[in-house]
Every structure is written in structure tokens, then in C-alpha cells.
Amino acid sequence: MKQASTSTSQLGVMNFLNEVSFQYPAAVSFASGRPREEFFDVAGWIESIARFCEHDASTRHEDAASSLRRLAQYGPTNGVINALVAEQIGCDEGVVCSPERLIVTTGCQEAIALSLQALCADRGDTVLALNPTYIGVTGAAIGAGIELQPLDSDPGASLPALLARKTGALREQGKRARAFYVIPEFDNPTGTVITLDDRRAILEFCASNEIAILEDNTYRMFRFEGDARPTLAELDEYGCVVYLHTYSKTLCPAVRVGCAVVPKTLFGDAAASRNLLASMSENKSFLTVNTSQFNQALVGGVLLAENGSLQRLTRPATGFYRANRDTLVECLETHFGSESEGVSWNRPEGGFFLTLELPFEFAAPEMMECASEYGAIVMPMSFFSLDGSYRNRVRFAYSNLSGDEIRRGIERFAAYARAKIAGAAPCIA
Amino acid sequence: MKQASTSTSQLGVMNFLNEVSFQYPAAVSFASGRPREEFFDVAGWIESIARFCEHDASTRHEDAASSLRRLAQYGPTNGVINALVAEQIGCDEGVVCSPERLIVTTGCQEAIALSLQALCADRGDTVLALNPTYIGVTGAAIGAGIELQPLDSDPGASLPALLARKTGALREQGKRARAFYVIPEFDNPTGTVITLDDRRAILEFCASNEIAILEDNTYRMFRFEGDARPTLAELDEYGCVVYLHTYSKTLCPAVRVGCAVVPKTLFGDAAASRNLLASMSENKSFLTVNTSQFNQALVGGVLLAENGSLQRLTRPATGFYRANRDTLVECLETHFGSESEGVSWNRPEGGFFLTLELPFEFAAPEMMECASEYGAIVMPMSFFSLDGSYRNRVRFAYSNLSGDEIRRGIERFAAYARAKIAGAAPCIA
């Protein structure tokens, strides 16, 4: 944790976000990518703890009360619902794995931290990430004293070409790219999807350079239209991919249950893969001991009730997020439809986030200004940037708002943007 | 996490322990300091989530269902039951603190890891610990790449003298003692209690040398007889003590809820204390985001039902542990009562652990031999040693056994020990 005190620009973003939301409670907030609460069946999910216990008891030929008491104890570091989780990611994500390759973690965030720590154990070991990228990987790397290097921002270059360029530059500095963190489906913060061709090329490049791919698949269940691309883990013939998964969005954040799956062989080496898992497991035992078995039982009980797939359960929320995406895009077309405005955006096929480009800079002062004077909170994309770039872009999270809130929020944001474009926006000292 | 791959002797102990228990399922195991399951009221505790929600809803003037849904979301990094936890440790432990100084963690283990990371951020920053000490602090230090130094094993020297000697030696090496980890009441692994005089002297020494004391108070509620000494936190006039607390033993391990309390001023500096808490909070947000609010609500609901004190709830378990301590000591007197045996032990006033000294070496091979040939699993004290010492001592955990199991286990262990003393114990290649 040696760099923790030297770099705070990324670390402060989370707190800043929370503060700005509290500071302007009347503002419409597009800041936070939270799942929609009306789809939480919390009481039903808590009851599913008992369902898991009955299942567990029947496999052990004991009564459910004994099973519940045993669950309340310390348990295996790597988890107790591994088989059910493996079944679900096999069924829903095409990621076929044996439960022994899976470690149940205290949310996906712990899975990221453990993966980075285990893969980047030597001096000069570096993690690559798209630029901009998820704050959680930046923070986990800083916290562990591991260097995180962004891929260059070169719209003309392909992803594999950017990877090759960065890897070569690191090598010249005596450093080594050991991992590449990526959210291939409905990226946080950009909402984009990596093409099938790029996925294959990334895998080939990473395999031949022995760079592990940390595939974070948090948003993949929320596809609005079109066909899902296979995950990198499914395409992986080389033993490149550490697959990261979470129930924070499909169920709810308070379950704090996620997982990491190590490849069958790490770059063809079965012992290296076992060592990777063992290292993650050891580090976990000294961070969180084991993931709460109550929370594991809750998730396990839901998976049992749903016969191993979360597609039925996530369908209503996916419909809601799609309607919100539609409302958001419609509002943007209404307010910024004219090309002369110089405002453009993507149309995400799924997930929680949309990227918008502005003809003016939108950083922390503009965020505060827009929140305080116009009542809309929008995230500057530069907050997620690893080199301070993307100062003209913003992230809209549309997952936890009603249609009316989106309409009101975009009307306010548009008023701000038009005033800014006209050079008439008030200044904050 | 730079040293993780270089030191595995301590890291392997946990796994070794689990394996040996699985390997000899018929053996009586004194290995693991687990709370007794028959005192878990799991169904009742899960229902207490609803109690916390009603309380939370009434303070916010909303309905309990809304409160439950909000709890299911992401929440404040530092927790939502801080006021209830502060009330309990004030009531039961004499540790008076404002909720703002408290961070709710995913078990005490996370509190240890976060404290170490925040206090030892610079090169040469070192943690001191008694020798032997709890494996969890050793592992957390190794995992974070922080040097852990044992106090010397000098039975003639006082604790403050040992602290002074080690601190001076480190200074000569250009290093700096930044923290001293200690379990003052019913220590794991030794079961001992630090005297009031030593507590005061430790505080004075640490204050004048700006060494933070990490006071781990996991076992203090389980006192069998005599008066409790005040905690270091209660005695602290200097702003030395970071107080670590857990509900894993008073309730059950699966709650995975603990906390750390920073001092009001760190060595007299209020800003330094705020910075310490902020650093721990930032690191937590990138390790576990926030402690599961379901688990927090469960603990909060129990604290509400118990009016802020866990004394009533822990009394039956304390009686059980006391009876077990009595049975264990009686059995030891029966089997090793003659002084000529050269076997001696302490009589812990509380907690889960007893130390026994043998007239022969008892390390990993002897542990396996005793488990496989005699059917009793006992922990070599050298597993907890930071310098390989204490090879003639063992730790007995008596918390999770019936009286009959203790009698049977000690009979077996005594048979092994007598054979060993007589030079007749079988050898394992």
C-alpha cells in the first residue's frame, strides 16, 4: 500500500461524488450507476437463505437448523456456493468452469484487488487499462502500490495495436505488463462494447505476451437489443482470462458477493493457475477471512430458486433500463438534435452508462456549477481518465432514475450547456 | 503486496490447520478458536434485520420497506450502524467514542489490514507485536508488504522494556516502529492478560514514541472470574489507541462485521486522526466498497433488541467456555499433575485459549503424529511465533468442544505425551 499517500486524485472521486449528491439534494443526479431499487425483492431474497440451507442439509443428510448454524461459522476461504455460481455463469455467460477454479469474493471489488495483488507481485509489474476506466481498478492498483498504465487515446488505432504499443513502451522502461483490465460489454464509464474481432485479437496478443486479462462482466446481463458477443473467457483458448463477476447489479449491492474464476491453465501452465488461485485465497484470508456465508446462502438460495440462471429475474430491470436509455436518447435528440450544437453521444446497447461529448470543457468546476445553478449532476469523464484527458466528455448514468427525472434532468443540463455554448454561463470563483 | 510471494511460512498455517482437521475427522480437535454453535440464534438474528429497518425508517419518517430497499443499495463506506456500535463498545468496553470516529469493517480482519496499511505507508515503517501473536496480523502485514517485528522473548524483561529495546534497535536500522498490535485480554494464542501497570506503561511509552497501539479486543466479553482491566482505549489520554472490535465471537463469524475506532486526536493532533480515518476509508472503498448493509442491519437489530449491551446475550456462552476451561484444567491436572512430568500450563481467566509447555519439541511432525496415531489435534505454538521460537509449547482452543470431547482429547494427548516423554512415540518418516 506504498503509494496510497502519494496519489489521491482518483481516490477522492468516490467521496466527491457522494458529497456533491448530498450537497444538492434537489438536483437530478446522473452520477451514480446504481441498480434500480424497485426491482429488489429483499424480503424474498432473505428468505432464500433458508432455501439454501435446506439444499445444503439434504446433500449432507442433516437438518436445516444444523446447516444454518454451520453456515454461521467460519467457512472455507474460497466459498461454499461455488458450484451454484459456476452453474450460473456457465448458463448465462457461457463461461464453463469447475467450481474449484472459482473463489467467491466480498463483491467484485475484492476480486479485482485480489487479482491485481496476485498477478503483479514483482517490481515493475504493471496493469493496463482502457482510458478512461472504472475507478475501482484505479483505486485498487494505487492501494496495492501497483502501477496502472492507460492505453493511449488514439481513435485511429485498434485496441490490439494500442495494447502492443503500450506493452512495448513498458518493456523499454524495464517494466512488464502483467494484466489488462477490461469491461468488454457495456463498459463503465463509456457504455461501449468491444467487437468480436477485437476480442479475438486481444486474446491472441495477450496470450503471446503472457498478459492476463481481467474480464469484468458486471453489466452483461443487461442487454437491450442485438446479440451478445461471447465473453473473452468463453473465447479463451490460451488460459489468459481471469473472469470477474458480481451479484451487486443482478441482485443488489448489499449482498456483497462476487467471484473470480482463474483459467484452467495460466498460459498453458496448470500449476501456475493453481498458484494464482492459492495466492488470491491466501490474501483473501487476511483481508476478509471468507465471504459472509449468510450472504453466500442468500445468493445460493436465489440461484436454486431460479434453476441456475438469472435471466428471468433480471428481465424486468433490463426492460426498465432500456426504457431509460430510450428516454435519455430521445431527450438528447430533442435538446441537442441540431448538428450545429456540436454535441454528440453514443447509444449503448445495454448497461447503465452513456457517453456525451461537448464543445466545451466539463470538469469539476463545471460539474459544481451545473449542479448548483441548474440542478443536474453529471460526471465529468476526466474523473475516470488515467491521464487527465477527455475533458470535453461526460458520463450519464441512467439506471436509477425515473423517466420523468431523466426528462427534467436533461432539460436542466441542456439549459446549462446552451448557456455555456453561448458564453453566458455564470462563473464560480 | 510485494512480499506476498516471498514469505509463506505464516501464510500456510491457516490452510494447514484446515487440512489437518479434514484429514483426521475422527480426531478431537483443539486447533480452532471457533465460537460454540449452540449459542447461535441465527433465525432470530436474521429477523432482527427487520427490527433495524423499523428503527431506521422511524428516524427517517419513511416506511420499513423503503428502508430495507435503501439498505440493499450501496451505502456509506464507513457504515450505517456506527451509533449503535459506539453505544455498545461504550457500554460493554468503556470505550467512549463518537460514531464519526468509527469505521464499520468486514470483520475485525479487515480492520487490522486497513489500520496497518494506513499507519505504515512509508518505507521502513514497522509493526511490533508480541511473540507469539495472532496469525491474522502476521498475514495482513505480509500481504501489505509491511515488516512485522516480534518483541524479544525475554521472560525477565517487562513489556515496556521489551518495547523500548525493539524500538531502539529498529531506529538504529533506519526503520521506525509505527504500530504495536496487541490483544491485552485473553490473548490469541496464549490466553494471557496484560496487567494494569503494564497497560499504563505501554501507553506512556507508545505516546512518547508516537507508536499507535492496535488494541484487538476480540475476547474481552468472555471473562470467567475476577475483574476486567480497563481497555487501553479507556486508559488512553494520549491519542495512541486504534481500537479494533468484532461481532464474530459475540454473535457469530458469518456476520463479518467488526470495526476500528480511531483516537480523538492522534498523539494530540486532531487533523492526523481525521487523516488516518480518511485513509482507512479510502482503502476500504477499493477493497470491499462498504460492509454489507444486510449484515450491518442484522448486528444493528440485535444491538437494538439488547438495548446496546451484549452482556445478557453472551452470558450463556461465557458460562459454557468457563466450564470447558475448568474441564480442560482438571484433565490436565489428572494426567500431568505430577511435577516430575515437566508439563505446565496457564489457567486463563477468560477467552478461548490455554497455553501448555512440554518437555519435548512439538512442531508440525509431532502435530501430525499426535493427530494420526492418537486422535488429538493440538496447535504447535511455534506456528504463531514470529522467529520460530516456542517449539516446546502448544495452544489448546477449548471453545468449540463438549466436556466429553475435552476429556477424550486430553486423555489421547496425554497418552501421546507420556509415550513421547518415555521415548516410545512412533516416528513418522
A contacts of B279 (beta carbons < 8 Å): 4-5
Rounded Cα distance, B180 and B203, in Å = 10
| Cα dist from B69 to A38, A249, B49, B209, whole Å | 8, 14, 12, 48
- In 3D, which of B153, B178, B185, B232 has the Cα closest to residue B353? B185
Q: Residues 31-50, chain A: which have Cβ within 8 Å of B?
A: 32, 34-35, 37-38, 40, 42-43, 46, 49
Contact B107 A49 (CB under 8 A): no
Q: Which pLDDT belongs to residue A12?
A: 65
pLDDT > 70 in chain A, percent: 94
B contacts of A69 (beta carbons < 8 Å): 37-38, 40, 42
Q: What is the mean pLDDT of residues A239-266?
A: 98
CB distance from B292 to chain A under 8 Å? yes
Q: Which pLDDT belongs to residue A3?
A: 37
CB distance from B22 to chain A under 8 Å? no
Contact B5 A283 (CB under 8 A): no
Question: Tens digits of per-residue pLDDT, A320-348?
Answer: 999 999 999 999 999 998 777 799 999 99
Residues near B324 by beta carbon (within 8 Å), at least 6 away in sequence: B398, B399, B401, B403, B406
Per-residue pLDDT of chain B (429 residues; tens, 9 = 90+): 333 333 445 556 666 666 677 788 899 999 989 999 999 999 999 999 999 999 999 999 999 999 999 999 999 999 999 999 999 999 999 999 999 999 999 999 999 999 999 999 999 999 999 999 999 999 999 999 999 999 988 888 999 999 999 999 999 999 999 999 999 999 999 999 999 999 999 999 999 999 999 999 999 999 999 999 999 999 999 999 999 999 999 999 999 999 999 999 999 999 999 999 999 999 999 999 999 999 999 999 999 999 999 999 999 999 999 999 999 999 999 999 877 779 999 999 999 999 999 999 999 999 999 999 999 999 999 999 998 899 999 999 999 999 999 999 999 999 999 999 998 545 443
Question: Tens digits of per-residue pLDDT, B284-334?
Answer: 999 999 999 999 999 999 999 999 999 999 999 999 999 999 999 999 999
**pLDDT grade, residue A424 (50/70/90)?**
low
What SS3 state is found at A25? Answer: coil
Helices and strands: H and E segment counts in chain A? 14, 13
Model ipTM? 0.95
Q: Which pLDDT belongs to residue A18?
A: 64
Question: Tens digits of per-residue pLDDT, B204-256?
Answer: 999 999 999 999 999 999 999 999 999 999 999 999 999 999 999 999 999 99
Closest residue in chain B to residue A297, using alpha carbons only = B254
Burial of B19 from C-beta contacts in 10 A (0-12 / 13-18 / 19+): exposed
Q: What is the helix, strand, coil percentage profile of chain A, to 5?
A: 50, 15, 40
Are A225 and A349 in contact, with CB atoms under 8 Å apart? yes
Does the structure show a pLDDT above 50 at A79? yes
Q: What is the pTM of this model?
A: 0.95
Distance (Å) from the alpha carbon of B201 to chain A's nearest alpha carbon: 30
A contacts of B252 (beta carbons < 8 Å): 72-73
B contacts of A113 (beta carbons < 8 Å): 286-287
Q: Name the DSSP class of A223.
A: B
Q: Which pLDDT belongs to residue A35?
A: 97
Q: Which pLDDT belongs to residue B426?
A: 52
Region for B262 from its dihedrals, namely left if φ exceeds 0, alpha if ψ lies in -120 to 50, beta otherwise: beta
Please count the residue pairs, one from chain A and one from chain B, whose beta carbons lie less than 8 angstroms apart. Answer: 209
Q: Is the dihedral of CA A81, A84, A87, A91 positive or negative?
A: negative
Across the interface, of B8, B252, B285, the residue whose CB is closest to A72 is B252
Closest residue in chain B to residue A296, using alpha carbons only = B254
What SS3 state is found at A93? Answer: helix
Q: Which pLDDT belongs to residue B29?
A: 95
Rounded Cα distance, B193 and A275, in Å = 39
Burial of B15 from C-beta contacts in 10 A (0-12 / 13-18 / 19+): middle
Q: What is the mean pLDDT of residues A292-311?
A: 98
Torsion of CA A65, B259, A16, A19, to 10 degrees: 80
Q: Which pLDDT belongs to residue A1?
A: 34
pLDDT > 90 in chain A, percent: 88
| Amino acid making up residue A225 | E
CB distance from A196 to chain B under 8 Å? no
Contact A121 B76 (CB under 8 A): no
Radius of gyration of chain A (CA): 22
- Mean pLDDT of chain A, nearest integer: 93
Q: Is the dihedral of CA A289, A295, A301, A304 positive or negative?
A: negative
